[in-house]
Structure 1
Amino acid sequence: MSGHIRKTGLATAFALAAFTAQPALADAGGVSFWLPGIFGSLAAVPVTPGWAYSTIYIHLQEKAGGGQNFVTSGGVPGSVTAGLNAHADALVMGITYTSPMPVLGGQAGFTLLTVPGNIGVGIDATLTGPRGNTISGSATDNRTTLADVFYQGTLKWNQGVHNEMVYITGNIPSGTYDSSRLANLSFGFPAIDAGAGYTYLDLKTGHEFSIVGGLTYNFMNPFLQYQNGIDFHVDWAASQFVSKNVHIGVAGYFFQQLTDDSGPGARLGGFRGRAVGIGPQIGFMIPMSDGYQGYLNVRGYKDLEVENRPKSWSTWVTFSVSPAAPAPAATKPIVRKY
């Protein structure tokens, strides 16, 4: 079974809410290029070579509010009281080709993704400066648009119950970014992310554990003159197969911005973000005809802790279709001739 289980958390690597009017939060608008929770169970398990299709529906709800004390880039203290409510509904559609030819002793795969979706943003904010001057305002925006085009390359290895992976992913700006809008699914700048992962999968006991970590480098947003800092992230998942085709468990993430935001547009300082989240998951293997198999996974996350980021909860529904492993050849009975 492990040789042909389709990995569910294809790296979409897009922000579902680029709140460009609020650079006071970590990263441009408080949402990173890397969306925590992208990788899930079975992340590093090799798959059957060939073409595969995956679609992921993601609902993301974010909220930020209350008084937050900040220090401007010039070292002058200020206070920001902000209210933000945002939601996003996105449909990630991707195709993957996995090569039958070994590469460095492992299995190579390449994925392309596109993401249409709807995003709505509402902001009610008050800025109080060091001299006591106050500026207030509110704004809303709703938009149905496209995210950037995303790519991912992977190499995977298997040694019994142990599976390893390295990956690289990034985006190609789509041109739908609009710096005058609050609601954007695209970024307006390229970014690149790379990392490694491990999956333990014991088919005899049904135990499974996956962990993937990586680093993100963000290039300058030329429209805002704002560059997000380098981000570190870890996604993990643990599950138990309760039958041949069903597994249940938990999944979570840790996200930490390592370096300050920078550039002329980063007027309120570095604001390194952090997020820790966890939630349940369930997955179903679906036998199909014509040499293919399906996989359905439903999982959800809720932030337990955030720093300089909106607090969020999200729901992920993944369905993928991939080549099934060839059935083992039937052994012929031994006929003895005397």
Structure 2
Amino acid sequence: MPRSSSASSFYRAPLKASALVLALAAATSAMAAENGNQRYSAGIGGSDMTTPVVPGLYFQAPMVAYHASKIKDKDGKQLTFLNPVAKVEIDTDTYAVLPRLTYISSHRLLGAHVGVTAMLPVVKRKATFDAPAAISPYAAIRANVQGFTGSETGIADLEVSPVMHWEIGDHQSVTFAPTIVMPLGDFKANQRVNAGFGDYYTFRPSVQYAFIGDGWDLGGRAVMSFNTRNKDTGYYSGKIFNFDWQAMAFVSEDIRVGVQGYFVRQLQADTLDSDGTLANGYARTQLAREQGSKASVNGIGPAVAWLMNGGEMLIEGKFIKEFGAKSRTEGQAFWLTISKPL
């Protein structure tokens, strides 16, 4: 259907553009990255991926609730203990608010509008790990597994990035953001559940493409994460590739509906220093098992966006269900994002 005039004004007017979001902190759990955490939240990219970028200051507040009760091994099967053979029981939740400020200037470099974006999340992580009662004779193993259980609330890690945005036609654009994530969040090496990720840095360049059609939009974001070794634990999380995509169409002047998906592929296995600090003997054994594994998962689900007052504010909701997980959790996430120019 043709794009409405009010919807078109949202896309073209500086005061009616939604906030640009480029690479946000992780809110899901995984096995192959240290303590189940990856510093990029698959599925965070939404309608922001297809919003034309114009000079200005923008605020965005994505909120996410992620839950998983399954944890998969490298073959995509429910993770089990080696001896005795029994399934690992897990129940984990992550709640996060990820406030972001983005400034896009009127200056150009190499034909691109330049700017800067920064984000500092506040998270609450809860996780319960247990071993089935069937292995009760192995009390030490069960006690160590239960020792991973915890709940933490606090500030996660700060990320900052310059932004370069090119308009490559009337309907297409490309955005580049080489993000640096710094270890600002709360982290304790002797526990599995933390608000932060540890004493290491992540370099995370991203390239985003958008096509804005006549009443429909298509966007995609490719992200690579390069990590340094965690000085707190001696653990090195291997390189990870993320790809997020979304396709949306207007069904009225101010409502868009569509579908969103992503896939995650770890390209390099994790490693662990021999003198790394770990919570206990079981932790070292379990993390040793994780070395050599590469996390992967897919996700897909519906999305709906509301352009309030002709586009002065954007509110978007999404539900994403994961499938095909390997060496990580498999769950689902609810997203609510509010974007507004300042």
**Which category of TM-score, normalised to the shorter sequence, fits these structures?**
0.7 to 0.9
Aligned to 1:214: 223
Change in 2 beyond 3 A, CA 1:226/1:258? same
**Pick aligned residue for 1:92 from 79, 94, 98:** 98
Is 1:180 aligned to residue 199 of structure 2?
no
Change in 2 beyond 3 A, CA 1:80/1:68? farther
- Which structure carries more strand by proportion? 1
Secondary structure class of the residue paired with 2:288? coil
Rg larger for: 1
Change in 2 beyond 3 A, CA 1:136/1:112? same
Q: Which runs of 4+ in 1 moved over 4 A?
A: 7-10, 65-70, 77-80
Aligned to 1:326: none
TM-score normalised by L of structure 2: 0.80
Counterpart AA for 2:244: D
1:8/1:41 contact within 8 Å kept: no
Q: Deviations over 1:208-247 (max 9, x none)?
A: 0001112110111122211011111110000001233221
2:158/2:182 contact within 8 Å kept: yes
Is 1:195 aligned to residue 225 of structure 2?
no
Of the structure 1 ranges 57-66 and 240-249, higher mean CA displacement relative to structure 2 is found in: 57-66
Return the alpha-carbon distance in structure 1 between the equivalents of residues 194 and 27 of structure 2.
9
Q: Deviations over 1:264-302 (max 9, x none)?
A: 2552222100010001111112238xxx92111111211
Secondary structure class of the residue paired with 1:43? helix
Gaps of 5+ in 1: 20-24, 71-76, 127-131, 324-338
* CA RMSD of superposed structures (Å): 2.7
**Pick aligned residue for 2:26 from 14, 17, 32:** 14
2:75/2:326 contact within 8 Å kept: no
Secondary structure class of the residue paired with 1:243? coil
Return the alpha-carbon distance in structure 2 between the equivalents of residues 302 and 322 of structure 1.
30
Is 1:302 aligned to residue 311 of structure 2?
no
1:97/1:109 contact within 8 Å kept: yes
Q: Deviations over 1:64-88 (max 9, x none)?
A: 3588789xxxxxx877742211111
Of the structure 1 ranges 141-150 and 264-273, higher mean CA displacement relative to structure 2 is found in: 264-273
Is 1:165 aligned to residue 175 of structure 2?
yes
Gaps of 5+ in 2: 1-7, 77-81, 133-137, 277-286
- Which structure carries more helix by proportion? 2
- Identical-residue share of aligned pairs (%): 23
**Pick aligned residue for 1:276 from 275, 298, 301:** 298
Return the alpha-carbon distance in structure 1 between the equivalents of residues 313 and 105 of structure 2.
20
Aligned to 1:109: 115
Is 1:155 aligned to residue 176 of structure 2?
no
Aligned to 1:239: 248
